[in-house]
């Protein structure tokens, strides 16, 4: 049984505490399209994320949640403002972060163990250490016995687990997750939420997790970032006053859930102009 950890212990081990891992400074992002001309995806977004925190990001469809993740990952650059990662400005592809897209995107010609070990640099991970790392994460994800299976032989939930631990296995300080459980059924989603939290409790990497599900946002997070309609701006940041570890399967009963969810829904319904 995992014991509750203090705020200090929740930060990633051996990481500097005097500066955040991610700093988003007054970032805006514009896209040009043939049909609509220039579109504002993000506007004047500022956010500070410390080491070891679990952040969820919610907002209306098209508000720039995924765009924000892609800017941190360096897939594209801000139109204005800047993003700092470990104190340095992101100016290109950020290979120091792990990125989990909505789709699993496992390599179909590789087995589960080959997919999980794909990102492990041979210089950093000699063969014995690499094999140990792969086994360790496969066990954490409940995929023991499926090491030799190919993606086509896996269920949707198994493929998603393998995709997530592939990003976790080389232990980047930050994992960016773009609605990773979105297409799954409710039962599988809860199982994977529970497994993700168990892995995070052990590794304490920083996670930034985009979701449309307000319950999921509260259940997983230390803080929930709420964004407005496009162009996306940060409307509010909600602290989640629930202790850890959390029981995903009875999350509604946990002290602090109703308070955080109620505040989140009140903000969100006003953004969507819902009166009741």
| pLDDT exceeds cutoff 90 at 17 | no
Strands 80-85 and 88-89: antiparallel
The whole-angstrom separation of Cα 178 and Cα 102 is 6
End-to-end, the C-alpha distance of the chain in Å comes to 41
- What digits encode the pLDDT tens for the residues 90-148? 999 998 999 998 887 899 999 999 999 987 876 577 888 889 989 988 987 889 999 99
* Domains located in the chain, CATH noted: 22-96+172-271 (3.40.50.300)
User: What average pLDDT does the structure give for the chain?
Assistant: 87
How far is 156 from 84, CA to CA, in rounded Å?
A: 35
Q: What is the pLDDT of residues 162-192, one digit of tens each?
A: 988 888 888 889 999 999 887 778 888 888 8
Q: Residue 86: its pLDDT value, please?
A: 94
Residue 14, phi-psi category: left (phi > 0), alpha (psi -120 to 50), beta (remainder): left
Answer whether residue 13 shows pLDDT above 50: no
């Amino acid at each position: 049984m995992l014991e509750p950890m203090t705020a200090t212990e929740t930060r990633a081990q051996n990481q500097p505490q005097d500066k955040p891992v991610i700093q988003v400074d007054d970032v805006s992002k514009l896209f040009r399209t043939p049909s609509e001309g220039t579109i504002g995806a993000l506007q004047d977004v500022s956010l500070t994320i410390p080491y070891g925190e679990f952040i969820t990001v919610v907002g209306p469809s098209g508000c720039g949640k995924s765009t924000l993740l892609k800017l941190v990952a360096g897939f594209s650059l801000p139109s204005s403002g800047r993003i700092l990662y470990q104190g340095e400005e992101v100016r290109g592809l950020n290979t120091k972060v792990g990125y989990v897209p909505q789709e699993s995107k496992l390599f179909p010609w590789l087995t589960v163990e080959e997919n999980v070990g794909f990102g492990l640099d041979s210089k950093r991970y000699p063969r014995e250490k690499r094999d140990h790392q792969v086994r360790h994460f496969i066990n954490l994800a409940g995929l023991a016995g499926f090491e030799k299976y190919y993606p086509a032989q896996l269920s949707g939930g198994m493929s998603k687990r393998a995709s997530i631990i592939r990003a976790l296995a080389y232990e980047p300080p930050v994992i960016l997750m773009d609605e990773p459980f979105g297409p799954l059924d409710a039962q599988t989603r809860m199982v994977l939420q529970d497994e993700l939290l168990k892995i995070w409790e052990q590794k304490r990497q920083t996670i930034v997790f985009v979701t449309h599900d307000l319950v999921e946002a509260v259940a997983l997070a230390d803080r929930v970032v709420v964004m407005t309609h496009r162009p996306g701006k940060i409307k509010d940041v909600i602290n989640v006053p629930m202790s850890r570890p959390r029981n995903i399967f009875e999350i509604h009963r946990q002290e602090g859930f109703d308070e955080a969810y109620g505040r989140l829904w009140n903000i969100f319904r006003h953004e969507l102009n819902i009166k009741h």
